[in-house]
Structure 1
Amino acid sequence: MDEAVLWEKYSKTKDPKIKEQLILRYMPLVKLIAGRMAMYFGGNVEYEDLVSYGSIGLLDAIEKYDSRKGVKFETYAYTRIKGAIIDCVRSQDWVPRSIRQKAKEIEKAYIDIEKEGKIPTDEEVAKRVGLSLLELQKLQEKISSGMILSLEGFLDQNYETRIGGLEDFVSRPEVFVENEELKEVLRQEIDNLSENERMVIILYYFEDLSIKEIAQILGVSESRVSQLHTRALLKLRSRLEKYIK
């Protein structure tokens, strides 16, 4: 059955059989998103669990989607599915306390170094937190899977505002303006990252590439991509902190 016809019938009847067809039609999208995110969560969260979490987002998207607004369902559902995965993983609080604590120390080091008017380097940050360069790089790999939650949530929140467009502006202009300002700040801060850091952020968050694909494009190892990802997020979070409190 044609997609448009399927949605028209479901919006009128809420027929469970049609809903089941929609779920089957869009389940590959859930698996695609879960597969991308699984590579950052590593062995801490099972792929099947991520698919299960994403399915919750898919069901929510099917119930709330309004085809009359002119937004493709895949676009609308993508944010819902990814948001459901992030919320479920965050609720489990699986990132070890020691890793979270060390991440805060590293983030503070980035902030302090920038306040001193210097460009934070891995060597300088490692020295500030009392680690060797190799220890810092290994820690960045461990932090990466947890750090993804912070920027994903920030980007998705603003992405939904972008989807809402004029409707959001009319109903809540102060929120719309604030989010637009945050997006501009974020864009500027991404531009201020090193070339490789900027590429990792753009390719992962905006081009939807996997860590393996990014590694091939940059000509580096997957672990190096993970390090670059963490370093970029730490920098962005430290710079955005004053805007999102």
Structure 2
Amino acid sequence: MPTRSNEQLCRLAQAGDTAARDILLENNLGFIRKIALEQYRSMGLDENDIGIDLEDLVQEGSIGLLNAIPLFDAGRGMKFLTYSAPAIRNAMTDCIRAALAQFEQRMVDKKDGPGFQRVYLDDILSDDERMLRIEAIADPHSRTPEQIYIQKEQLTELYAALDKLTAREQTYLLYRYGFTDGIEHPLIGAALHFHLSESRTKKVEGEAMDSLRGKLPGGSDTMVSSG
């Protein structure tokens, strides 16, 4: 088969050409793997034991791409990868969410085990380490002096507000918004990292953000990442 675009392959696949479908998937495995790696890193899947590896995400993303084929409408002028990317990401997230739910249940059912509530938030940072993270200002390169000044003022206010929170709230927000490792983690990623249920993580985040708003001038809820 001559080289065809994603959109051409998709039209053939929609008409029942299984070879075109397979080629479409093969041609875009690199794209799927890139998304999988981003998800794997941002959700800290290498730091927990829920049983998902990178290849699991690649497989789920591949299924997401295949499921997007019959729904794609080339007449709208959208590229196939642009259309299928949300389906790929959602398939991976659904896989992680299902694995997290199973992990929670295993921990609850484990009578002699520690239980699911291994709240790493309680393993609070030392004062020195916490202050180093709070004081880590983003690299100012490629910004105008005015932008640098405005951001520095905003960061100063943010860091001052963070320092007034409880150590537990600080630990959560510093990880969630990338002060810890330069990666802004999605909520489910924070749930995995702190070994919390997704609903409990939402509650923790809500309480921490409410506290932060109360400490910021004007009650701003803007959270700034470190990188």
Query: What is the TM-score with the length of structure 2 in the denominator?
Result: 0.49
Higher helix share: 1
Query: What is the TM-score with the length of structure 1 in the denominator?
Result: 0.46
Bigger CA radius of gyration: 2
